[in-house]
Amino acid sequence: MRIKIINPNTTWSMTEKIGACARAVARPGTQIVAVSPAMGPASIESHYDEALAVPGLLQEIAAGERDGIDGYVIACFGDPGLKAARELARGPVIGIAEAAMHMASFIGSRFSVVTTLGRTIGQARHLAEAYGMERFCANVRACELPVLELEEPGSQARERIVAECRRALDEDGSDVIVLGCAGMADLCEHVADVLGVPVIDGVTAATQLVESLVALRLRTSKRGELARPLPKPMAGLLEGFSLAR
């Protein structure tokens, strides 16, 4: 089984960390291929960043289809381009916010999402509503921490994330924490050990969900909304995205 983990930003140090976290939970015999697109933003912290990340993400999905990849993880908590990726892919495609929120609902009554910047709180709330998770989501909180600070040696990122997670437990009535950024994937075990509650990282959650779907021989339905996109001409910078008939 081959699973492609796509970090939609172009920061390779983060992609390598994400890939290592996915490999740590993957089943024996599962090959994890962790990639960043050739084009896109260095980090994704706004609707603008998210929109510009999608073309590169879709290029990686298309390449995966040519390479015979069995399933995909979109490793950004905004789940950018998820529906479009499912239109292109034969195998399952799971976003990390989708995976983390659903898994949190299995093991607790209320979860809080702890993310990076306050400006992304609205996006996380929208996803909770779209995924039917609004009644489980007690709150979405931000550390006011730029994503790329997670990659800086010696930063106080870990301490700030733990402190915000502790406030979530104390103030939100939550019994599960969801880490709201793929760049936090390597902190999951540490935060759980410090706080003594389940802490869910979407990268590992999505990896295991994709593995399960592939093992069950369940592919993305090509009937209706998620059927392959209709071929049509594309112009300008998107000319290479035209699909064959």
Question: Mind listing the pLDDT tens digit for each residue in 161-198?
Answer: 999 999 999 999 999 999 999 999 999 999 999 999 99
**Whether residue 31 is found in the same domain as residue 109:** no
Question: Mind listing the pLDDT tens digit for each residue in 31-42?
Answer: 999 999 999 999
The number of angstroms, rounded, from the C-alpha of 164 to the middle of its chain's C-alpha atoms is 20
Structurally, the chain folds into a number of domains equal to 2
**Whether residue 209 is found in the same domain as residue 90:** yes
The CATH number for 70's domain is 3.40.50.12500
**Whether residue 134 is found in the same domain as residue 108:** yes
Q: Return the pLDDT at 157.
A: 86
**Whether residue 91 is found in the same domain as residue 208:** yes
Q: Where are the beta strands (DSSP E) in 15-119?
A: 31-35, 71-74, 93-95, 111-115
**Whether residue 115 is found in the same domain as residue 163:** yes
DSSP summary character for residue 72: E
Q: Helix (H, G, I), strand (E, B), or coil: what is residue 214?
A: helix
Could you count the other beta carbons within 10 Å of the beta carbon of residue 218? 12
* Straight-line distance from the first to the last Cα atom of the chain, in angstroms, rounded to the nearest whole number: 28
**Whether residue 131 is found in the same domain as residue 168:** yes
**Whether residue 34 is found in the same domain as residue 74:** yes
The rounded mean pLDDT for the chain is: 95
Distance CA 67, CA 238 (A): 22
| pTM exceeds 0.75, yes or no | yes
**Whether residue 164 is found in the same domain as residue 107:** yes
**Whether residue 65 is found in the same domain as residue 78:** yes
**Whether residue 78 is found in the same domain as residue 151:** no
**Whether residue 166 is found in the same domain as residue 234:** no
Sequence letter at residue 69 = I
Host domain of residue 156: 97-202
List, in order, residues 6 or more apart from 62 with CB less than 8 Å away: 88
**Whether residue 79 is found in the same domain as residue 159:** no
Question: Mind listing the pLDDT tens digit for each residue in 103-158?
Answer: 999 999 999 999 999 999 999 999 999 999 999 999 999 999 888 888 888 778 88
Q: Helix (H, G, I), strand (E, B), or coil: what is residue 133?
A: coil
14 pLDDT exceeds 70?
yes
List, in order, residues 6 or more apart from 124 with CB less than 8 Å away: 77, 78, 97, 113, 115, 140, 180
